[in-house]
Amino acid sequence: MTIRLGYQIPNFTYPDTPNDQLFDVVIAQAREAEASGFDTVLVMDHFYQLPGIGTPDHAMLECYTTLGALATATSTVQLSALVTGVTYRNPPMLAKAVTTLDVVSKGRAVLGIGAGWFEREHHDYGYEFGTFTDRFERLEEALNIIAPMLRGEAPSYSGAWYTVRNALNNPRVRPTIPIMLGGSGEKKTFRLAALFADHLNVICGRADVPRKIEALRQRCAEADRDPETLATSFLTSVLIAESEAELATLLEPLSPGARSRIVAGTPDRVAEILQKEVLDQGITGLTINMPYTGHRPGAVELAGRTLRSLVE
């Protein structure tokens, strides 16, 4: 398993689209991604829209319901959360959910998991947020339960946060399901990735990629793991236009902050930036989102056409 080119759908607020037609736009994006060279489609595991994309009252679909529906609307792409928040997902129930997604999709599920960070969601929904240390303790305990369950084992585990007793997980369609961790933490997230994961999605600024790769290699060495066995990808927002004039039109309504967070340009320019600043630095795959244009027919196809040759 690896994610060479992933398409994440983070935005569910589309112009002139009523709620009863919203998912049609989501399906269209997933199918366009599948047809244009993306190997994975991902959604966020959040209850509210994130700052920087929209406001909390904007549309946000529940993650695993969405992925299950996308499994029936696609046929080849892997399906994953980027990433599941362990703070509001009971570990054996999460193992059951992702395994069910694997059955429904005929072996295309990836478990994306992380420590959680959006405090307001926890407060409003009544989930314990805890300290930074708490959240990573919970993540490590959860992985000690989930990983064997995905392999068909029936673990018993008693920790500070979770207890299970011979937790069965059937039916299954594969010997195991890949685990992807997502985050930027060089000490905690990267250590857990080296211990448990098949894939690490790195979330950071492009200038920080070399340091992140070096830190990951250090964590792999400490875990006595060959870093070549841990695939990586880089998450970024992109905005691609066929011409400079079209690009200027698309950028015009965005705030300076929004512009600073995206890789924007013509196809050649976007490909050049991501090749030089990400892939050439040691990252093995790309996961992009297109929060401002992904809902437009043809936008995802243009992104696939622009980027697929970089990761083939």
Residues 6+ apart with CB under 8 A from 280: none
- Cα maximum dimension of the chain: 61
Q: What is the pLDDT of residues 2-58, one digit of tens each?
A: 899 999 999 999 999 999 999 999 999 999 999 999 999 999 999 999 998 999 999
Provide the number of structural domains found in the chain: 1
Structure tokens at 208: 């920080």
CA 56 to chain centre: 20
Domain that includes residue 156, residue range: 5-311
Measured distance CA(158)–CA(143) in Å, rounded: 13
Measured distance CA(49)–CA(128) in Å, rounded: 19
Helix 63-73 crosses helix 19-35 at what angle (to 10 degrees)?
60
Neighbouring-strand partners of residue 238: 263
User: At 247, is the pLDDT very low, low, confident or very high (cuts 50, 70, 90)?
Assistant: very high
Q: Which whole number is the average pLDDT over 172-177?
A: 97
Closest CA to 188 of 137, 234, 228: 137
Residue 52: its pLDDT value, please? 87
Residue 16: its pLDDT value, please? 93
Q: What is the CATH number of the domain that holds 31?
A: 3.20.20.30
Q: What is the pLDDT of residues 261-288, one digit of tens each?
A: 999 999 999 999 999 999 999 999 999 9
Report the first-to-last Cα separation within the chain, whole angstroms: 14
Q: What is the pLDDT of residues 296-306, one digit of tens each?
A: 999 999 999 99
